[in-house]
Amino acid sequence: MTALAMRMLRHRPGSSAATLLALALGALILTAMGILVESGLRYHPAPVRYAAADLVVARPDTTFTSREFDGEVYESTVALPEGGTVDAALVDEIRRLPGVGSVAGDQGVPVVTAAGTTASGRGWGSAGLTPYRLVEGAAPTGDDQVVLDTATGAGLTVGGRVELVAGGVPRAYTISGLVTGNGTATVFWSDARAAALAPHPGAVSAIGVIARPGADLGQLRAAIARVAGDARVLAGAESGLAERSADRAAAALLVQIGGSFGGYVLLLIVFVVAATVGLSVRHRRRDLALVRAVAATPGQVRRMIMMESALVGVVAGAIGVPCGLAAARWLAGELTGRGFLPAGFPMLPGAIAAPAAFGTVLLAAVLAGLLAARRIAGIRPAEALGEAAAEPTGGGRKRLIGGFVALGSGAAAAIAAVGASGETAMGAALGMLYLFVLAVALLAPWINHAAARLLGPVLRAVFGSSGYLAAANLRAGARGTATVLTSLVLAVGFGGSVWFLQNNLERAAVTQSREGLLATRALIAPAGLPGSAVAGLRAVPAVRAVSPVRHTTVIVPLMGDGEAVAARAVDPATLAAVIDLGVREGSLADLRDGTAAVSASQASMFGWDLGDTVDMRLGDGTAVQTRIVAIYRRGLGFGDVVLPLATVAGHTATNLDDEILISAPASADAGLRAVAAAHPGSTLADTATLTGGLARDLALSAWLNRLLIGVMVGYTVVAAANTMVMAALARRRELALLRLTGVTRRQVRRMVNAEQTGLLGTAVVLGGSIAALTLSSVVRALTGNPVPYVPVLGGAAVLGGVTVLALATTVLPVARLLRVPPVEQIGVKE
Amino acid sequence: MPVDYQDVSEPAVRVRGLTRLYPADGEPVRALAGVDAEFGRGTFTAVMGPSGSGKSTLLQCAAGLDRPTGGAVWIGGTELSRLSETKLTELRRGRIGFVFQAFNLIGALTVEENIVLPLRLAGTRPDREWIARVIERVGLGHRLRHRPSALSGGQQQRVAIARALASRPEVIFCDEPTGALDSTTAAEVLALLRGVVDEHGQTVVMVTHDPVAASWADRVMVLADGRIVHDTPQPGAERIAERLAALGRRPAPVEGAAR
């Protein structure tokens, strides 16, 4: 059977070229996405900072426990966005345990050097955990001494002075020594000084333990675990979990992008490949009928079709997977260059992803073959005897029912999408699109038939007798052209919706931010601003209001998992003067410790109402219960959760403010600048810059979305082109017959144009409706405004592009067919 | 080279009360209106009749390519109506050979591969000696590695006959096997069919509208409006032509007369 399938393929390579292209592109995309997922899943941070520690006590993540319907306990672990802390008192408790050699609490104090570079500030006691060794000078003592690693201290000498900004406050220190060791830029203070500067008072970011030589690590670990409470005791390679949360967040991002996007593309591949395999089977109806008549059982023909698909899948995998490996390398480079991935993030070569992508493509091919082979049952062997291979025109009852089910599910998804938030909006939109396109694919025979009836008079009026023939062809071939219609609808639907979703998102966010921002100036510092800056700004004459804002992330339980939600911490007393959140219900006047305000989309997604008390975890894992006192509109511009500063104080990585919003007349600028100058690393910005910065941030994340969506839209376009070229080339005999009966070449061309115009018109109406419905329900969910924004140029590009696509992919192949004298083609078997 | 038969007294093909209705808008079309016939072993029968007389439908039903609406078909001792599609296919590839008017061969396969295709799909090892004799008989030894597209129409039909013989079937059904051929080539093909009946005791049932083609048969059966109207030993091409012409001059059947 394999040999027979191979012979069939080699004899008619054209009929499987479309399938090959679709599968190879699919293999490329799946391989690239698979490598993202594999690198994310198998990412394991190797310990650097705690490389010398035998055991590390830390809280790198938080765990959600829920009970499933079947009573099974389900655990989900989320990396803490702000890093967890451990009680500093635990250091002494551990020191008293038997077998402990040395123990040190570690602090990570964000430090900005005079040169503007960032470093991690630590207590000298933790130097041995990495380890760092003195190459010159002595350990720091007192509050004004510091030890630098040789890279940070390049050009400086022991005994010299260096200015460092820690906790937002600049101060000069005497260099007491220089050290070397693995790891990022580091400065060491005395333990007391480090504790004083620590962002979390009374807590350390981790505790490193070095066991006494010969001590039983397992016993020691158990002993520490007994006193450590809910903190984790990490050993060996696991210790890396306690460091570098940026890498872990990146790993999670890779899994998320690769997984969701790979899934959508997989659906698309099955969809497209099922169509192309189906088309090639349809075009070989007579061959298959002959095989059935003389020898093959229905099962054998089915196996042959599946084997053919599988062979094409193997070739496609062999082409697509290596290309995917190259694409993954390029993508990883771009992601690093654009800041989605930390530099040096270990991307894997795809030892699992490549075979998995290969297998998936093969499976998709076989599945598509299986779907197409179902049609074989409809081929009667007696068809081999007939002169013309007549096709049944209508679809079956099952197809009709399936179509209406898909249509209904699509409508239900549209309603569900209204309740979705920004992160899930894309998923909801894609789900809707797939369901609607599936409905069109299933109902296509009836749609084509109805469209041909409706458009018949129009086509006759415009194209004359060619239009008459075109309408007749559309009506008779309603089922055959279903694939063409579906691929056009897919291209219009995809191009017209998901592509513009990003535009709408950005536009809404910038608009909300612009409308809601009442402040006239803002002081911004990437490393954070201390309370002294707020006081300094308030002291400037003529300033009306000064309000500090912190950007953080909270983790909210959602169906057993922890969902990270962007949050702002604000000063409730002064907020109203600088930001208008667009409160719909409740009042921000009630915002105090233990309460929160949430955006409308957040509230609807999580099912929260005004007055509800909800569970959240702060960025460092601290569980809080907050009562919702206000629900506001401008979530895209200002984050989905607003907490009072008092709630998050001591629970963020820096414990400093990210920006200070100022309401002041222009005359106060000089005074404001003086405060900015007193805080190195900070800049005074006007609100246009602030809004512009948001737009830039969004554009950055939009790059990734656009790339992924672009690939999907591109894929649908290639698939549509594929299908139409294939369908056009299969008409050689029919067109030759028309020409032999006296239809001129010009008339044939006009007839084909008329058919394509009819199909295109139907596709644009259907695809446009699907796109409009999808876009409007998602945009409504995000912004509350049901009218989506479609850039004129973008809309024109989609319509123009699909028109060019529809005509070029049919007219060119048909023109090629028409160059050959018809008598040469009439003898050709179909 | 005689073919093995289980029971020489049993006819190769037998049909009883065969009817076939085709659904159509309004009144269904009755292609066969109750046909009873037997085709004895080692005989060559021509089935004739004007267009729409039901002769092709009779062939398709008798050969298990199509399922009759009513009645029964036996190939040897096997009744077809109870067979599943898979069993029916297995029966076709083992016990029935086919020669169609055109497009008989799979373009992707060589002449030799086309000939042994039914055996390969059946999973049986081709009897090399028998295949060699069949190929020699149809005179295609020098073209075995060629594709069907490189052959003339007559050569293609000879390949089809070779394929039909390859599994030593009980009966070979031919549907206008010479319809697309010129008279000289047609004569070659018909001589070949006559030869396999005379020399190998093969059974052949051939649908044709050509009196000259029919004159190579032992027996001529004429259908009109789904019924057998003549069934006689082959009387010669001229007599056949006269009978057909007489059939053409008959007054058009009254609506429903065939029922």
Residue B256 included in any domain = no
Among A242-256, A328-342, A491-505, which range has the highest average pLDDT? Answer: A328-342
The pLDDT, as a whole number, for residue A625 is: 92
What are the distances in angstroms from CA A132 to CA A139, A608, A740? 11, 50, 90
Chain B closest-CA separation from residue A22 CA (Å): 24
Tell me the two tokens of residue A659. 């920006």
Q: What is the CA radius of gyration of chain A?
A: 33
- Measure the CA angle with vertex B39, ends B197 and B180; round to 5°: 60
Q: Give the span between the Cα atoms of A823 and A618, in whole angstroms.
A: 78
What are the distances in angstroms from CA B94 to CA A237, B90, B165, B197, B204? 68, 6, 10, 18, 15
Alpha carbon distance, N-terminus to C-terminus of chain B:
45
- Name which of B20, B56, B59, B98 to mutate to probe chain A: the one with the most chain A Cβ atoms within 10 A of its Cβ: B98
Q: Is A294 part of the contact surface with chain B (CB cutoff 8 Å)?
A: yes
Q: Give the span between the Cα atoms of A35 and A352, in whole angstroms.
A: 8
The pLDDT, as a whole number, for residue B132 is: 87
Q: Give the span between the Cα atoms of B135 and B208, in whole angstroms.
A: 25
Q: Is A620 part of the contact surface with chain B (CB cutoff 8 Å)?
A: no
Per CB-CB distance under 8 Å, the chain A contacts of B163 are 294
Window from A52-61, A422-431, A652-661 with minimum mean pLDDT:
A422-431
Is the model's pLDDT at A318 over the cut of 90? yes
Contact B121 A380 (CB under 8 A): no
The pLDDT, as a whole number, for residue B255 is: 41
* Residue pair B235/B216 in contact by the 8 Å Cβ criterion: no
Q: What is the pLDDT of residues B46-83, one digit of tens each?
A: 998 888 888 888 888 888 888 888 889 988 888 888 88
- The mean pLDDT of A228-247, rounded to a whole number, is 79
Phi, psi of A622 (to 5 degrees): -65, 125
Contact B60 A382 (CB under 8 A): yes
- The mean pLDDT of A207-227, rounded to a whole number, is 88
Q: Give the span between the Cα atoms of A777 and A497, in whole angstroms.
A: 11
Query: Among A587, A512, A497, which Cα is nearest to A771's?
Result: A497
- The mean pLDDT of A725-730, rounded to a whole number, is 79
* Residue pair A672/A523 in contact by the 8 Å Cβ criterion: yes
Residues above pLDDT 70, as percent of chain B? 90
Instruction: Write the DSSP string, A306-325.
Output: HHHHHHHHHHHHHHHHHHHH
Specify the amino acid at residue A718: V
Query: Among A680, A677, A616, A671, which Cα is nearest to A648's?
Result: A616
Mean per-residue pLDDT over chain B, rounded: 81
Mean per-residue pLDDT over chain A, rounded: 82
Residues above pLDDT 90, as percent of chain A? 10
Secondary element (H or E) of residue A622: none
The pLDDT, as a whole number, for residue A727 is: 79
Query: Among A305, A262, A265, A273, which Cα is nearest to A719's?
Result: A273
Contact A298 B86 (CB under 8 A): yes
Contact A299 B86 (CB under 8 A): yes
Is the model's pLDDT at A69 over the cut of 80? no
Alpha carbon distance, N-terminus to C-terminus of chain A:
24
* Residue pair A554/A596 in contact by the 8 Å Cβ criterion: no
Is the model's pLDDT at B3 over the cut of 50? no
Q: Name residues whose C-beta falls within 8 Å of residue A449's C-beta, 6 or more positions apart in sequence.
A: A393, A394, A475, A478
The pLDDT, as a whole number, for residue A277 is: 83
Tell me the two tokens of residue B33. 């209106």
A631: confidence class by pLDDT, cuts 50, 70, 90: very high
Which among A4, A297, A385 is the nearest to B86, CB-wise? Answer: A297
Residue B2 included in any domain = no
- Measure the CA angle with vertex A184, ends A183 and A185; round to 5°: 125
Quickly list H helices, A338-349.
none
Instruction: Write the DSSP string, A526-547.
Output: EEEE-HHHHHHHHTSTT--EEE
The pLDDT, as a whole number, for residue B2 is: 43
Residue B259 included in any domain = no
The pLDDT, as a whole number, for residue B252 is: 46
Phi, psi of B42 (to 5 degrees): 70, 20
A830: confidence class by pLDDT, cuts 50, 70, 90: very low
Burial class (CB in 10 A: 0-12, 13-18, 19+), A305: buried
A321: confidence class by pLDDT, cuts 50, 70, 90: very high
Contact A385 B106 (CB under 8 A): no
The pLDDT, as a whole number, for residue A317 is: 93
Pairing of strands A657-663, A545-558: antiparallel
The pLDDT, as a whole number, for residue A644 is: 93
Q: Give the span between the Cα atoms of A516 and A524, in whole angstroms.
A: 18
Residue B163 included in any domain = yes
Residue B28 included in any domain = yes
**3-class DSSP string for A572-616:** HHHHHHHECCCEEEECHHHCCCCEEEEEHHHHHHHCCCCCCEEEE
Q: Give the span between the Cα atoms of A661 and A534, in whole angstroms.
A: 10
Q: Give the span between the Cα atoms of A57 and A615, in whole angstroms.
A: 26
Q: What is the pLDDT of residues A528-584, one digit of tens each?
A: 888 888 888 888 888 888 999 998 889 988 877 788 888 899 999 888 888 998 898
Query: Among B52, B101, B95, which Cα is nearest to B73's?
Result: B95
Per CB-CB distance under 8 Å, the chain A contacts of B56 are 385
Q: What is the pLDDT of residues A70-126, one digit of tens each?
A: 777 778 888 787 878 888 888 888 888 888 888 988 888 888 887 777 788 888 988
Q: What is the pLDDT of residues A484-517, one digit of tens each?
A: 888 888 888 877 877 787 777 778 888 888 888 8
The pLDDT, as a whole number, for residue A417 is: 64
Secondary element (H or E) of residue A59: none
The pLDDT, as a whole number, for residue A423 is: 52
Per CB-CB distance under 8 Å, the chain B contacts of A296 are 89, 93, 121
**Domain span at B38:** 13-248
A–B interface: beta-carbon pairs under 8 A: 74
Chain A closest-CA separation from residue B179 CA (Å): 12
Residue B18 included in any domain = yes
Instruction: Write the DSSP string, A481-495.
Output: THHHHHHHHHHHHHH
A630: confidence class by pLDDT, cuts 50, 70, 90: very high
Among A503-517, A592-606, B232-246, which range has the highest average pLDDT? Answer: A592-606
Query: Is pTM beyond 0.80 here?
Result: no
Q: What is the CA radius of gyration of chain B?
A: 18
Pairing of strands A203-204, A86-87: antiparallel
The pLDDT, as a whole number, for residue B248 is: 62
- Name which of A6, A15, A294, A825 to mutate to probe chain B: the one with the most chain B Cβ atoms within 10 A of its Cβ: A294
Phi, psi of A98 (to 5 degrees): -70, 145
Q: Is A390 part of the contact surface with chain B (CB cutoff 8 Å)?
A: no
Residue B241 included in any domain = yes
Q: What is the pLDDT of residues B172-187, one digit of tens each?
A: 998 888 877 788 888 8
Which among A8, A11, A290 is the nearest to B103, CB-wise? Answer: A290
Secondary element (H or E) of residue A505: helix A482-516
> Domain count of chain B?
1
Q: Give the span between the Cα atoms of A338 and A502, in whole angstroms.
A: 18
| 3-class secondary-structure state, position A158 | coil
Query: Among A147, A181, A178, A151, which Cα is nearest to A47's?
Result: A181
Contact B89 A380 (CB under 8 A): no
* Residue pair A80/A60 in contact by the 8 Å Cβ criterion: yes
What CATH number is attached to the domain comprising B71?
Answer: 3.40.50.300
A597: confidence class by pLDDT, cuts 50, 70, 90: very high
Residues above pLDDT 70, as percent of chain A? 93
Contact B121 A295 (CB under 8 A): yes
Tell me the two tokens of residue A315. 């070739």
Q: Give the span between the Cα atoms of A292 and A622, in whole angstroms.
A: 70
* Residue pair A817/A734 in contact by the 8 Å Cβ criterion: no
Is the model's pLDDT at A596 over the cut of 90? yes
Residue B258 included in any domain = no
